[in-house]
Structure 1
């Protein structure tokens, strides 16, 4: 009897769940979902102070319809501001508010500590190799 082929996609999901275990307690303490944190992080770390919603969806790996709900909640909580430019009402622009910037700053030290814990547990060489391999997987292009 042949052995089943290991599932790359399942292994990646399981690894993600394990990694998120380092961050979920902090997100829960601040009342944020993973998607909300990704939006805040992308807005804060983008070289531009404002992102269009389609660009933000791509950077944060959130489907555009889901991003709408995430942004509504973040705006309601005073963390982001959304608007449509007068010159093109089809575009939706998003930026962090001062409160959103402050929240990122407040959380970032602990987030960095958790990343360092993961790196420490894996070892520097394994962490570096893992990140290189993940970048290679991200660059794969399935046949159309």
Structure 2
């Protein structure tokens, strides 16, 4: 699913390219209001590129540390990758909506998505910690008779 979201981000960015102004919103203040603008590249293509790079790097953690990401920990890593991509897609969606005339408050989008990401991080930490704990027990699970 995360791959489909990334592909959709690129597709929307490319399809929107000719119809958006040269300057697009790229930053919001604490109140969720736009406080900085950037180029079309920054607003429409850089975020999908960052989403793809982050998705790839997060996935590589399982390659570099396979013992830590076995069983449920691998599933938790997949959920974390999806949550990361959804956060990026949420920001991207607000940018695209704004350049198309909508006036969205970023806080209404980003805070729920960050909450989902925090849950995914907590789950990932619990699952990887379970794998770590299982490997440090002595033979017999540490139970003495």
Q: Give your verdict on TM over 0.5.
A: no
User: How high is the TM-score relative to the length of structure 2?
Assistant: 0.28
Higher-Rg member (1/2): 2
Q: Tell me which of the two structures has the higher relative contact order, counting C-alpha pairs closer than 8 angstroms and 6 or more residues apart.
A: 2
